[in-house]
Amino acid sequence: MTNKLLLAASFSAVLATAAATHAATEQNQSSSAVLLQGFHWNSHDYDWYSVMQANVNSIDNLGATHVWFAPVSDAASDEGYLPRELYDVTTNYGTEQQLRTLVASLNAKGIDSVADIVINHRVGTTDWADFTNPTWGSWAVTCNDEWPGATGACDTGEGYAAARDIDHTNGTVQGDLISWIRDFLFNDIGFKGLRYDYSKGYDAYYAGLYANAVNPSFCVGEVWTDLNINDVNPHRQQLVDFVSGTGGACGVFDFTTKGMLNEALNNNDYGRLSINGVPSGAIGWWPQKMVTFVDNHDTGPSEGCGIGQNHWPVPCDKVMQGYAYILTHPGIPTVYWAHAYDWGMYDAIKALVDIRKSEGLTSTSSVDIKAAQNGLYSAVIDGKVAVKIGPNSWAPSGANWELKASGTNYAVWVIGEQPPASRTVIFVYGQTQAGQDMFIRGGIDHGYAAANLGKNCTSSNYECAIPIIHNNLNNATTAGWKANDNYLDWYGVEASQSSAAEGSAADWTTNVWPSSWGAERTVAVDGYGVTPLNVYGQHYWMLDVEMDCSATVNGWFELKTYISNGPGWEADVNQSGTPYASGNHFAQCGKINVFSRGSSNATIVDF
């Protein structure tokens, strides 16, 4: 196990090595998988396989691609986490035949069944360590186990006092476990995925060894350790170390994200969800390998609030905020059975799963965090899904967002159908000196919009702004200012835009390039200089964008220029032939518009 923080290049190397040694799993790609935990802590009190069988169609309708089963082997504990005879799969959850039928029914729907593999420890049939089915001797128990008769090698992980710790360095143990998983659980019963219980109990190498031997479609380990909420990096590192220890064959449950969600939801401290503008959980480091969750059979309640384990729950009244987060963010999200089926949240959760699938969000989706503070977390995922959790108000900027799911203190939007964009060019004459640049702001006058268009325009709703996409990104000086500049607006710097930008950056152009200036510079190659569109002369600054004409006033919009490091804002003008009175220039969408700073003259021509 390494204590060195793995950087992106190291992650790539691990992935490349893993791909060469084992079959592709959901953890080895940009996965669209959704895991359903198919039980809760008290499920053994019911005819559970019958309950699951009755819900096969609704599991499919929910959008689950994988279902995690409770431990299927005979055990000394009702829940199955003290395994005894591995091949005896008639348990408190149901009979072997019920299990086989259920797995086959899910397979028929294209849903993979994930086995809960409890191999850190085992109990004897009648005594401390008289292991049968398969039969093992004292050599299978680690030397530092509580049982004085142990003769195996010492433990490669943390101990577990409730049962005998198994020696995974032993070749017979390895062979028997591989045969049990591959030949019996996978090839015979029909399981396809692995969930390793208590993965901190043995070196991650062995989880990778077994996974590579059985070729699961899904593999995830449980590494649950103490979390210091004020220094999460060691916790994230433990999760990363497990994944790299398996050679990339398995992912891991993102307990760091779970802990940060707990802090945010318990204390209204949504700033816990961001560190330097990226998610604070392990999805902020290696999202492809992380499996996220709101609660599970150990951390949360079961049939109702306060019933069950409750070792580390999110507040019962804020569960859906948690799902709004994990079902929009990277990693592979987990839906907890109790929440969907016992708490009446099925429809609300399904709405979020539907958004994840329809918008193509995956385990590697990008996250642009817009706010992370007391009372509010908001982010845009892959540039097309916006999410807000917390009691404070927020909505994504722009007119094309459609609200798709919402509830108490959460909301999710998706980008609606984009209107056709038209190329629009603005030339503004303005002489500048070295170190000075021209920026353009504009849109629709707020007062006019309120009186005539029924709009209440603000700096947060951008209803008087015009959506744009920059066509010229070749200028090394201005390209950084144009990044994340999505609107021609009145407000200056947009979210995630460079703080040095004073609006939408323009580029200096000319119609001729004297030989005395040296090698000719062109907009096509250099982003500034000569362009065929400039037939007007030197010092014409150009803004070349694709513009949403539907956001204008019958094709018209206003603009004003600002020159940095000196001249500042231009004076008001009084342009004739405009749709309404203003001290700004008026331009037309889809045309070439030519102005001069401080002048009321305007030339508007077609391309």
- Give the angle subtended at the CA of 345 by the CAs of 342 and 346, to the nearest 5°: 90
How far apart (Å, rounded) are the C-alpha atoms in residues 383 and 266? 29
Per-residue tokens: 495: 């979210």
How far apart (Å, rounded) are the C-alpha atoms in residues 468 and 443? 11
Residue by residue, DSSP assigns 332-370 as: EEEEEHIIIIISS-HHHHHHHHHHHHHTT--TT--EEEE
Spatial contact of 400 and 487, defined as CB atoms under 8 Å apart = no
Nearest to 494 by CA among 439, 542, 549, 547: 439
The residue type found at 144 is N
How far apart (Å, rounded) are the C-alpha atoms in residues 248 and 230? 28
Show which residues are catalytic: 197, 222
Rg (CA), the chain: 30
How far apart (Å, rounded) are the C-alpha atoms in residues 488 and 443? 6
Q: Taking the mean position of all CA atoms in its chain, how far away is CA 289? A: 12
Which residues are CB-neighbours of 396 under 8 A, at least 6 positions away?
Answer: 370, 378, 380, 386, 413
Per-residue tokens: 74: 């005979």
Which residues are CB-neighbours of 502 under 8 A, at least 6 positions away?
Answer: 439, 441, 492, 562, 564
How far apart (Å, rounded) are the C-alpha atoms in residues 553 and 268? 42
C-alpha separations of 20 from 25, 103, 157, 538 in Å: 12, 30, 27, 58
